[in-house]
Amino acid sequence: MFTPNYKITPLITNYLMDIEASRQAVSSLPVTLTLLNSLRESARLTSTHYSTQIEGNRLTQEQVEDVIKGSSFPNRKRDESEVKNYYQALAYVDTLIENNKAEITEKDIQTIHGLVMDGRQKPTKYRDGQNVIRDSASGGIVYMPPEASDMASLMKQLVKWINQQMQQAELPAPIIAGIAHYQFATIHPYYDGNGRTARLLTNLILHKAGYGLKGIYSLEEYYARDLPNYYDALTVGPSHNYYMGRVEADISNWVSYFCHGMADAFASVRIKTEEAAKQGSTSDHSALLRELDQRQKLVLNLFKESRYISTGQVADLFKLHKRSALNICNSWVEDEFIKVEGTSKKLRKYELAGKWQVLVS
């Protein structure tokens, strides 16, 4: 049975408190659906850029966005495929979140990997041979993962641990996600694509545990800003061999590193959404519009053309008899939606009440 070795230090506790404070702040912000969708798309593109950049992708942030929109660049076919595949994998993770299944399955993870590598929503089998991670400069062995014959057992244990921890809800969600990221990367169940799959698995766990932050954060940027630190944090134990100390190693430093990254990413989102909410509050009036019925919303178009409107215009707009239109206008006056201009009953005019002027300005 998989039993991670770590301690929740005072520093980790502080990071967890920062994460929770940002999570609560963002969840309470009055972010409109339009703004939320924009922030989500920005986060997807950021995650796609940095997660593929970690693996050596050469496309810039702007080029990644262009590729997703259909553009192409000379001699960048492989980079473009990686970007498109990762973006598709993010979309698949969104469907897993929306389906609200109780548990994460090995098939989910294998399908994520299939999308990452081939762009196909098809589960991929774990590696059937040994692979070795070497230093690109010296060629020396950096890490020797467990043998292929142990893949099925190790992955089954990891997935079982993740689901148990999420059901019990005794561990903070960031701790569960961080340990899952580490253990997946350590098991290294595939010849390639392990890092990208681990980062997507992390996102899935956080979303399912209520730490999705509305889908507008990106942990990948934190890793990419200092890759040596990312790899150093993942490298623990007295040996590069999984069976010679790595499996029992104390991963407290990694957990601390991971929680620091979450706190950093969540704080960044908090600042961004607070600024966006302030800017949006000056131009977004969806809450005000929800207070109006359908006829009131339609009559706003008349006020956009003229400061004053007449009973006749209301009658023409809704194909009503003037008496019926007058009754509607009288009720709107009582509700303080409009106010009467002047004293003439025969040529009565109406002006939009002050509260609603912003809707036609």
What type of residue sits at position 347?
L
Q: Which domain holds residue 37?
A: 10-281
Q: Which of 21-25, 196-200, 209-213, 281-285 has the lowest mean pLDDT?
A: 281-285
- 117 and 18, same structural domain? yes
| Helix or strand (DSSP H, E) at 338 | strand 338-341
The CATH number of whichever domain residue 297 belongs to comes to 1.10.10.10
- 222 and 352, same structural domain? no
Q: Is residue 36 part of a domain?
A: yes
State pLDDT tens for residues 305-343.
888 999 999 998 888 898 999 999 999 999 999 999 877
pLDDT band with cut points at 50, 70 and 90 for residue 282: very low
Distances (CA, A) of 339 to 166, 289, 318, 336, 351: 57, 18, 20, 7, 5
> Is the pLDDT reported for residue 178 higher than 50?
yes
Backbone phi, psi, residue 201, to 5°: -60, -40
**Using CA atoms, how far apart are residues 1 and 219, in angstroms rounded to an integer?**
29
Chain-centroid distance of CA 168 in Å reads 24
State pLDDT tens for residues 91-130.
999 999 888 777 999 999 999 999 999 999 999 999 999 9
Contacts (Cβ under 8 Å, ≥6 apart) of 257: 229, 230, 233
**Using CA atoms, how far apart are residues 77 and 162, in angstroms rounded to an integer?**
36
State pLDDT tens for residues 55-69.
999 999 999 999 999
Q: Is residue 1 part of a domain?
A: no
- 169 and 255, same structural domain? yes
Please classify residue 143 by burial: count the beta carbons closer than 10 Å to its beta carbon, then call 0-12 exposed, 13-18 middle and 19+ buried.
buried
- 16 and 111, same structural domain? yes
Q: Is residue 201 part of a domain?
A: yes
- 258 and 116, same structural domain? yes
**Using CA atoms, how far apart are residues 203 and 177, in angstroms rounded to an integer?**
8
- 250 and 294, same structural domain? no
Place of tokens 């098939």: 107
Q: Is residue 3 part of a domain?
A: no
State pLDDT tens for residues 190-239.
999 999 999 999 999 999 999 998 888 899 999 998 899 999 999 988 88
Percent of the chain with pLDDT over 70: 96
> DSSP letter at 193?
-
pLDDT value at residue 51: 96
- The three-state (H, E, C) secondary structure of 112-169, written as one string: HHHHHHHCCCCCCCCCCCCCCEECCCCCCEEEECCCHHHHHHHHHHHHHHHHHHHHHC
pLDDT value at residue 283: 53
pLDDT value at residue 189: 97
> Is the pLDDT reported for residue 284 higher than 90?
no
Q: Is residue 83 part of a domain?
A: yes
Q: Which of 14-18, 39-43, 103-107 has the lowest mean pLDDT?
A: 39-43
Q: Is residue 26 part of a domain?
A: yes
Residue where a domain stops, chosen among 256, 281, 306: 281
